[in-house]
Amino acid sequence: MKERNVGRSGLKVSVLGLGCNNLGGRLDRVASTRVVHAALDLGVTLFDTADVYAMGNRGGSEILLGEALGERRKEIVVATKFGLPMDDERKQRGGSRRYIMNAVEASLARLKTDWIDLYQIHVPDPETPIEETLRALDDLVSQGKVRYIGCSNFRAWQMVDANLKARQANLTPFVSCQNEYSLVVRDVDRELSDAMLAYGVGFLPYFPLASGLLSGKYRRNAALPQGARLTISPRMTDRFLNESNYELVEKLQDFCDGRGRTLLELAFSWLLARPFVSSVIAGASNPEQLGQNAKAVEWVLTTEDLAEIDRITDAGSLRQTIG
C-alpha cells in the first residue's frame, strides 16, 4: 500500500488508516484481532484510536489494539487521543499538564508500548491555555514517550494559533489535524484546508463515508439496512438521511456508474486527491470490509473528474448536512 508523509513532517503513514473505534465495542477480542491482523497483512501502517474508545468500554480499544499488535507494533504508527471525559463525572478530561501526564501513562500501559507515534488532543480545551498543553506535549516528545503531536476537531484559527505559539516558544508543533470530512461534509474547505497547506500540517479525515451514507447501502424510499450506523442512531439518521443528501448520493452514484466504479471507491479516492490529505481513516467490522477499503484507495481521479465532482457537490456553496 502507498504511503504519504503527514504534512511536511517526516512521519509516513499508509494512505488508508484503520479507525479502531469498533475494537472492544462492536468487536470482541477475537474479531478485533482478526481485523487488526488483516490490516497489517494489507500494508496498513496507521492505526488510529483514542483513550475513550470503545462504546461503553473506555480504554477497551487501546487494550485490544495493543494485544493484537504484539511484536508487530514496531512496524506501524499508533495514533491515539486524549482529552474527552474518561469518567462519568467528567473530571478526567482536558488539556492541562496534570491531566496529560496521567493520560499518556494510562494509554501507554493499555497499548503495551513504550511510545506513541502520534498523540492527539481530541477536542479543544477552552479551560486550559494552549501554551500549557503544548509545553506538556513537548516534554513528552523530549522524554521519548511521544514522537509527534496532532489535534482533532480544531477550527482553522485554533490550529494556526497553536502552531504559531509553538513556533514562537520553540515547542513541538502539531503535524496533523483530524476532523470530519467527506463528499457530503465539506466544511474543512472553508478555511482549515488552506491553513493546513500553509503550515505544512497533514489531514486525517474521519467519517469518510459520511457515517455510511456513501457506502451505497442507503436508497431513497428503501428500507434502512439492519444494524447499520444510520439505522441505529437517531441523531445520525436525522443529520444525514434527508432529501437533499439522497439527491446528492444519487448524482454521485450516476457519476460512478458511468465509470464502472462504486461509491466507496469514489469517497476514498476523492479524499486522497485532496492535496492536504495524508491518510483516510476508516473503520472496519471484518477483514472483507477492510479489503474493500484497501481496493477503494487505488482509483486515481482525473482533473476532469474532480471538476465534475465539485459541480455535483456544489462546492462553491460548501454544502451542509444539517438543516
Tell me what the pLDDT averaged over the chain comes to: 94
Asked whether residue 318 carries a pLDDT value surpassing 70, the answer given is: no
Check residue 317 and give its pLDDT: 52
CA distances (Å), 139 to each of 3, 144, 192, in order?
28, 9, 27
Active site residues: 53
Asked whether residue 320 carries a pLDDT value surpassing 50, the answer given is: no
Residue 159 in contact with residue 177, Cβ under 8 Å?
Answer: yes
Average pLDDT value for residue range 243-264 = 95
Residue 315 in contact with residue 186, Cβ under 8 Å?
Answer: yes
| 51-55, 305-309, 313-317 — most confident range | 305-309
**CA–CA dist 18, 90 (Å, integer):** 28
Q: Which domains does the chain have, with CATH numbers?
A: 3-212+266-302 (3.20.20.100)
Check residue 163 and give its pLDDT: 98
CA diameter of the chain: 56
Instruction: Name the burial class of residue 184, with classes exposed (0-12), middle (13-18) and buried (19+) by CB atoms within 10 angstroms of its CB.
Output: buried
Taken in order 223, 226, 229, 235, the sign of the CA dihedral is: positive
Average pLDDT value for residue range 248-259 = 96
**CA–CA dist 83, 149 (Å, integer):** 13
Check residue 224 and give its pLDDT: 78
CA distances (Å), 142 to each of 43, 134, 147, 313, in order?
30, 12, 9, 44
Instruction: Cis check for the bond before 307: say yes or no (omega within 30 of 0).
Output: no
pLDDT in tens, 105-115: 999 999 999 99
Residues 6+ apart with CB under 8 A from 192: 154, 155, 156, 159, 177, 179, 203
Check residue 316 and give its pLDDT: 53
pLDDT in tens, 139-162: 999 999 999 999 999 999 999 999
**One-letter amino acid identity for 163?**
N
pLDDT > 70 fraction of the chain, expressed in percent and rounded: 97
The phi-psi region of residue 59 (left if phi > 0; otherwise alpha if psi is between -120 and 50; otherwise beta) is left
Check residue 315 and give its pLDDT: 65
How many CA within 13 A on the CB side of residue 240? 25
Place of cell 479525515: 205
In this structure, which long-range contacts are made by residues 297-304, counting pairs with CB atoms below 8 Å and at least 24 apart in sequence? 297/1, 297/2, 297/15, 297/16, 297/268, 297/269, 297/272, 298/265, 298/269, 299/261, 299/265, 299/266, 299/268, 299/269, 300/269, 300/273, 301/269, 301/270, 301/273
Check residue 216 and give its pLDDT: 84
**CA–CA dist 221, 72 (Å, integer):** 46
Average pLDDT value for residue range 212-216 = 90
What global pTM score does this model have?
Answer: 0.94
Check residue 319 and give its pLDDT: 44
What are the φ/ψ torsions at residue 319 (nearest 5 degrees)?
-50, 135
Asked whether residue 217 carries a pLDDT value surpassing 90, the answer given is: no
The phi-psi region of residue 94 (left if phi > 0; otherwise alpha if psi is between -120 and 50; otherwise beta) is left
